[in-house]
Amino acid sequence: MTVRVRWPDGRTQDCYSPSLVLHDHLDAGARYTVGDFTERSVRGLEEASARVAAAYGFACTSAAASADEIKAVASTYAAGDQVEVLAMWPPLPDEEATS
């Protein structure tokens, strides 16, 4: 899945996850502090990587790369600055049925 965010300076970034699990950690349209967003995203990406490992026998390097990229970008802002989650796709299967 992809999560599009707007960083405090207005820059947008697309973050990749191999699993829809980020829906459990973030909400489209929500604002988070940089610190909270980073923690939620990294925790979700670690969970996504663990799911890949359970299914295929190896961790997901793309999830690790996404977590590293988020941490690197986040480190350029103050922890209390605001990040906005602009979009998350694809939606969860039950969200598709109701929209």
For residue 29, what are the domain limits?
2-92
Residues 32, 8: Cα–Cα separation, whole Å: 10
Tokens 């599009």 label which residue?
A: 4
The answer to whether residue 99 is domain-embedded is no
Those residues whose C-beta lies under 8 Å from the C-beta of residue 81, and which sit 6 or more positions away, are 8, 33, 34
pTM for the structure as a whole: 0.91
Number of other residues whose CB lies within 10 A of the CB of residue 76: 12
The answer to whether residue 77 is domain-embedded is yes
The answer to whether residue 83 is domain-embedded is yes
Domain count, the chain: 1
The answer to whether residue 98 is domain-embedded is no
Per residue in 41-88, pLDDT tens? 999 999 999 999 999 999 899 999 999 999 999 999 999 999 999 999
